[in-house]
Amino acid sequence: MKKLFFCLLAGTLALTAQAQSDWKSDTHYKKADAKEQLIKRFTDYVTFDTQSNDKTGKTPSTPGQMVFAKALAKELKKYGAQNVKLDKHGFVTASIPATSKKPAPTLAFIAHMDTAMEVSGKNVKPQVHKNYKGGSIVINADKKIAINPQNSPQLAKATGHDIITASGGTLLGADDKTGVAIIMTLVQYLYDHPEFEHGPIKIAFTPDEEIGTGIELFDVPGFKADYAYTLDGSALGELTTETFNAKAFTATFTGNRQIHPGSAMNSPFEDNILMASDFHTLLPRQSRPETTSGRRGYIFLDTMTTDGDTTTVSGIIRAYTDAEMGNLISQIEQAIRTVKTMHYKGTATLKVTDQYRNFKDTIPPQMINLAVQAMRQEDITPVITAARGGTDGSTLSFMGLPTPDLFSGQFNLHSEREYADVDVMEASLRTALRLVSLWSVQSK
């Protein structure tokens, strides 16, 4: 039966390929021109300070995201996009009308505008390192910041590629301004080549993906897309069809530190800071991020803050399956119970909240099959992955818009060693354009 299925699938894909026009020949696509456009756009986009902030309680969480959003909306209009909108939360949306007469599904491409909080995103100064020949790329000699195949394994596959880094002291913003640059270059390409036949296309640029608070405000029904792909992945050929299930937890420890420490013995004294420290120590080491990989989840503490007699610990839980998630929560609950036994004069409470879910079962097989076919037609080997994290697509998929994630050439994320591989970005652009062509001959 499995053999029959794959034979039928191969036949279907073959028929699709026959019906599909050869977009590269039709439009005389030139890789060198595409790369130059990507470099120009990306090195401009990273100069916008769009670092998000999880303390403001606003969407967008920082004003720089709205500045960037306005610039993107203006550029979309320049290249013929219609119904360009920028809402009060910083979402930029636009439509590209179909050039094909055949009814086809509405396909969307999405990328996020914000950058991570771990390293500054202000005053980014990009450096373009043409034709990488191997060895180390020095980002900042004075600070001794460099990337090489040892600390950046993907560089081993990047010989001959153009690499973009920051200049030290900031992240680059490759996550996810590579995706933004690829999508905008796609928009310009379709504008410059009206002979490219395609169905209706939607574009969206979103705020605050890095802090997980923006996408829930996205108007999915109003967007009116049938299928979407985020461009927020890393290595060549990556297609992310699965993410973690994600929960956050807050453990609160209340003691009595108002008693003079010299009189603490045989008194109501209880050290809430020690309670929190014991809790952290009691969490199993084998369930920490640095001891897990592949399909194993983890528990990780983000912050520990103290205010008088109260210490609050915040953290995250990640797991691919409900069973593993339940097991990790049980480990946290056991640590809480043990702390209560050790510190009977104090109190300890735990609150667990949902963040996002594994979107694996929300993605139609057709979306995966066409993405795989698009890559193969561009001589790219598909690599179907499960992300050890989440994307905007995790939330969008459960909001009714299935959204797997495509590679976009971003590496060493959230660090001063972050870099973008322009040749992988260009391959992502070709994959997206090939997807546009493939979806244009699908039944609506």
Which sequence positions are flagged as catalytic? 114, 209
H/E run at residue 371: helix 365-377
Question: Given its phi and psi angles, is residue 40 left (phi above 0), alpha (psi -120 to 50 degrees) or beta?
Answer: alpha
Q: How many CB atoms lie within 10 A of CB 321?
A: 13
> Encoding tokens for residue 59?
């969407």
Q: In 63-144, which ranges are E strands?
A: 82-86, 92-96, 107-112, 127-129, 137-140
Give alpha helix (H) positions in 193-256. 220-223
CA pair distance 187, 108, nearest whole angstrom = 12
Q: How far apart are CA 372 and CA 111, in angstroms?
A: 20
113, 205 contact by CB (below 8 A):
yes
- The 3-class SS string of 143-208 reads CCEEECCCCCHHHHHCCCCCEEECCCCCCCCHHHHHHHHHHHHHHHHHHHCCCCCCCCEEEEEECC
- For residues 298 and 283, is the Cβ–Cβ distance under 8 A? no
8 A C-beta contact, residue 355 and residue 212: yes
CA 312 – CA 310 distance, rounded (Å): 7
| CA separation for the pair 363, 50 (Å, rounded) | 30
Report the greatest alpha carbon distance in the chain: 86
